[in-house]
């Protein structure tokens, strides 16, 4: 432990208060499959990290990168086979006329280019986003990422609207009324952008509203949203940085949600940790964009980025990880449904594939968000050797999105540990108000916003 403190102090000296998980941060030295190992020999079951999609340190990905790095790694202004072959294989997984790809290094950069395309080709510069979305850390992308703002901020070229959900429904509505209310929000934002002279460029959204807590969305709501955006001359940008690459039990979140985007952005799991990201769109949109903007990205589309991404895609497809994610995710959700019988804290269980969200409430009737208890659960699970986090605007949605190679036995361990941890927390709530109070100071909306995603 004192070694960790020493490393933490050295880190603070050179990197300042660069964000860390947990009050006592974990120091990892080795990763393998669904496990991370600490310096002092502890092993953690990783139910949190979505980047190592095919498992930590997958030998095939590591070897593909190593082989390519010994052979050739250069920018994309020369011809080379790997990025072309990868692009072909990647685009085969898309429909809807999405037939070309543009590469970047990060999801932030992909969303930057997506916004630039929409603003160049749309009817104005105005973008609609969700009021608890996150799309990256650059200046333009930050404007459409209200989740990260410490206080509500407004930007002339952005309109953020409440996200749709059924558990805490918009204006208390349900069914068709909820859909109508959401479409009215979309239309209101379009009208406001047009009235202000900014004009309307498009809408960006995560197809599963991951940071919003994976809300259940009424059928046809998203399809009708897409229609509405298109009718107003806007482009639909779907951010698959969290939803993509098999995570939701289908290859792409927009396929799960049955919507047809104009631009899809990809990131996190694409290279299993190698920095590679992209956007996929239609050839005519990309050509029109290139007419106006010269885009080149030094590190993107390199042979090594392609080799990493190709190995990941091959593993996902050959091992049928999307199907596996659907089955294993359903098993976890059923398991939590069983636990809900014993634990009043469990208010709702949601998600798709191996993106599982469990919303904790103090009262199943009033649905009062149990943010403190969710934070306790994250920490209790850490004590059980399990990594999870939390999300949602109230910080009360347990967030689980393990590597897709997560097995039935891993899921059983997660469920058993959650059962024990919930029991302890429920005991704590009755026994010890004092302890609970201590944790509240760390539970402001700010820290929730800051720590998660």
Select 225 or 389, whichever has its Cβ closest to a second copy.
389
Strand pairing report for 277-281 and 263-266: antiparallel
Contacts made by residues 447-452, CB under 8 angstroms, sequence distance 24+: 447/395, 448/371, 448/390, 448/394, 448/395, 449/147, 449/148, 449/149, 449/150, 450/19, 450/148, 451/19, 451/21, 451/389, 452/211, 452/389, 452/390, 452/391, 452/395, 452/399
Select 36 or 405, whichever has its Cβ closest to a second copy.
36
For residue 444, state whether it binds a second copy (rule: CB under 8 A): no
Select 190 or 305, whichever has its Cβ closest to a second copy.
305
Which stretch in 46-54, 183-191, 194-202, 211-219 sits in contact with a second copy by CB under 8 A? 46-54
For residue 70, state whether it binds a second copy (rule: CB under 8 A): yes
Interacting residue with a second copy among 130, 302, 328, 418 (CB under 8 A): 302
What backbone torsions phi and psi does residue 277 show, to the nearest 5 degrees? -150, 175
Which stretch in 81-89, 178-186, 190-198, 421-429 sits in contact with a second copy by CB under 8 A? 81-89
For residue 41, state whether it binds a second copy (rule: CB under 8 A): no
Interacting residue with a second copy among 1, 2, 18, 438 (CB under 8 A): 18
Select 76 or 225, whichever has its Cβ closest to a second copy.
76
Select 165 or 384, whichever has its Cβ closest to a second copy.
384
Which stretch in 47-55, 320-328, 344-352, 413-421 sits in contact with a second copy by CB under 8 A? 47-55
Select 172 or 296, whichever has its Cβ closest to a second copy.
296
Tokens at residue 255, please?
């396929």
Interacting residue with a second copy among 118, 203, 236, 286 (CB under 8 A): 286
The residue count for binding a second copy (CB under 8 A) is 97
Interacting residue with a second copy among 34, 98, 140, 158 (CB under 8 A): 140
Give least dist CB 403 to a second copy, A: 11
Distance of alpha carbon 118 from alpha carbon 232, whole angstroms: 13
Biggest CA-to-CA distance, the chain: 67
Q: Are 154 and 230 in contact (CB under 8 A)?
A: no
For residue 62, state whether it binds a second copy (rule: CB under 8 A): yes
Q: Are 428 and 421 in contact (CB under 8 A)?
A: no
Select 311 or 429, whichever has its Cβ closest to a second copy.
311
Distance of alpha carbon 183 from alpha carbon 180, whole angstroms: 5
For residue 2, state whether it binds a second copy (rule: CB under 8 A): no
Q: Which residues, 20 to 39, sit near a second copy by CB under 8 A?
A: 20-21, 25-31, 36
For residue 248, state whether it binds a second copy (rule: CB under 8 A): no
For residue 283, state whether it binds a second copy (rule: CB under 8 A): yes
Interacting residue with a second copy among 168, 299, 436, 439 (CB under 8 A): 299
Interior angle at CA 119, CA 116 and CA 122, nearest 5:
135
For residue 253, state whether it binds a second copy (rule: CB under 8 A): no
Select 238 or 276, whichever has its Cβ closest to a second copy.
276
For residue 11, state whether it binds a second copy (rule: CB under 8 A): yes
Give least dist CB 88 to a second copy, A: 6
Interacting residue with a second copy among 65, 179, 205, 313 (CB under 8 A): 65
Interacting residue with a second copy among 290, 334, 408, 420 (CB under 8 A): 290
**DSSP symbols for 136-155:** -SSHHHHTT-GGG-SS----
Instruction: Show Cβ contacts of residue 49 under 8 Å, excluding neighbours closer than 6 positions.
Output: 36, 56, 387, 401, 402, 403
Q: Are 126 and 157 in contact (CB under 8 A)?
A: yes
Distance of alpha carbon 15 from alpha carbon 278, whole angstroms: 28
Assign 236 to helix, strand or coil.
Answer: strand
Select 295 or 331, whichever has its Cβ closest to a second copy.
295
Interior angle at CA 103, CA 98 and CA 104, nearest 5:
135
Distance of alpha carbon 108 from alpha carbon 266, whole angstroms: 10
Select 17 or 341, whichever has its Cβ closest to a second copy.
17
In 233-248, which positions are buried (b, 16+ CB within 10 angstroms) versus exposed (e)? bbbbbbbbbbbbbbbb
Burial of residue 212 (number of CB atoms within 10 Å: 0-12, 13-18, 19+): buried
For residue 198, state whether it binds a second copy (rule: CB under 8 A): no
Q: Which residues, 305 to 344, sit near a second copy by CB under 8 A?
A: 305
Which stretch in 13-21, 219-227, 245-253, 365-373 sits in contact with a second copy by CB under 8 A? 13-21
Q: Which residue has the tokens 């509500």?
A: 152
For residue 395, state whether it binds a second copy (rule: CB under 8 A): no
Interior angle at CA 229, CA 225 and CA 204, nearest 5:
80
Give least dist CB 25 to a second copy, A: 5
Interacting residue with a second copy among 1, 2, 14, 195 (CB under 8 A): 14
What backbone torsions phi and psi does residue 130 show, to the nearest 5 degrees? -85, 150
Q: Are 263 and 118 in contact (CB under 8 A)?
A: yes
Q: Which residues, 89 to 118, sit near a second copy by CB under 8 A?
A: 91, 99-103, 105-109, 112-113, 115-116
């Amino acid at each position: 432990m004192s070694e960790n403190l020493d490393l933490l102090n050295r880190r603070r000296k050179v990197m300042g208060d660069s964000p860390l998980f947990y009050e006592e941060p974990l120091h990892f030295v080795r990763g393998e499959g669904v496990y991370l190992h600490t310096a002092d020999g502890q092993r953690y079951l990783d139910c949190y990290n979505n980047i190592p999609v095919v498992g930590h340190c997958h030998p095939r990905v590591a070897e593909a990168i190593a082989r390519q790095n010994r052979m050739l790694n250069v920018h994309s202004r020369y011809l080379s086979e790997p990025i072309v072959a990868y692009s072909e294989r990647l685009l085969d997984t898309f429909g809807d006329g999405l037939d070309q790809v543009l590469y970047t290094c990060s999801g932030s950069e992909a969303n930057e280019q997506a916004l630039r395309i929409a603003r160049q080709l749309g009817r104005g510069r105005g973008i609609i986003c969700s009021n608890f979305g996150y799309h990256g850390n650059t200046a333009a992308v930050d404007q459409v990422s209200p989740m990260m703002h410490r206080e509500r901020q407004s930007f002339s070229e952005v309109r953020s609207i409440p996200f749709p959900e059924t558990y805490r429904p918009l204006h208390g509505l349900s069914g068709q009324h909820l859909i109508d209310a959401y479409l009215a929000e979309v239309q209101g934002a379009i009208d406001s952008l047009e009235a202000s002279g900014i004009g309307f460029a498009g809408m960006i959204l995560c197809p599963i509203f991951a940071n919003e807590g994976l809300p259940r969305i009424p059928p046809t709501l998203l399809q009708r949203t897409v229609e509405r955006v298109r009718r107003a001359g806007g482009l639909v940008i779907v951010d698959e940085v969290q939803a993509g690459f098999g995570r939701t039990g289908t290859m792409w979140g927009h396929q799960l949600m049955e919507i047809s985007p104009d631009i899809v952005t990809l990131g996190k799991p694409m290279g299993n940790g190698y920095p590679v990201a992209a956007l996929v769109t239609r050839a005519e949109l990309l050509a029109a964009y290139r007419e106006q903007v010269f885009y080149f990205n030094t590190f993107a589309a390199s042979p090594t980025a392609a080799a990493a991404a190709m190995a990941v895609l091959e593993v996902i497809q050959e091992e049928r990880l999307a199907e596996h994610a659907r089955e294993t995710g359903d098993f976890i959700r059923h398991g939590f449904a069983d636990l809900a019988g014993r634990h009043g804290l469990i208010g709702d269980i949601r998600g798709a594939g191996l993106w599982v969200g469990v919303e904790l409430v103090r009262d199943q009737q009033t649905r009062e968000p149990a943010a403190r208890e969710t934070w306790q659960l994250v920490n209790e699970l850490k004590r059980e050797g399990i990594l999870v986090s939390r999300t949602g605007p109230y910080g009360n949605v347990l967030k689980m999105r393990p590597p897709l190679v997560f097995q039935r036995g891993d899921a059983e361990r997660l469920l058993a540990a959650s059962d024990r941890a919930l029991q302890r927390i429920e005991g704590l709530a009755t026994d010890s108000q004092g302890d609970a109070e201590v944790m509240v100071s760390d539970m402001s909306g700010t820290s929730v916003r800051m720590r998660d995603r």
